[in-house]
Amino acid sequence: MEEANRVRFARADAKRDLKSGALDIYDLLMDPSEELKGAKVEEMLLAVRGMGRVKVTRILRESGVSRAKTLVGLTHGQRDRLLKALGCS
């Protein structure tokens, strides 16, 4: 129960930080904290300012990443393609 709440709060904080720009999506994809490893990539991308459902869906498709993929589940290739699609190099 406590663990679940800790994870929920950490994800909520991360989304808030992504939206405000305090957290860079590059940093999140490269090194997710323990609480965020199970978070869905799509969910985190949607929290980034200027990223809507259509854009996120297109980026995931271009990168060959499933909507169900978690941050920890990304292969190196998927992570690289995702970062490239997002314009982080």
Question: Does the structure show a pLDDT above 90 at 55?
Answer: yes
Using one digit for the tens of pLDDT, what is the confidence trace for 25-46? 999 999 999 999 999 999 999 9
Q: Which domains does the chain have, with CATH numbers?
A: 2-85 (1.10.8.50)
| Residue 89 pLDDT | 62
The tokens for 77 are: 């290739």
Q: Tell whether the torsion through CA atoms of 67, 62, 35 and 23 is positive or negative.
A: negative
Count CB-CB contacts under 10 A for residue 7: 17
CA 66 to chain centre: 12
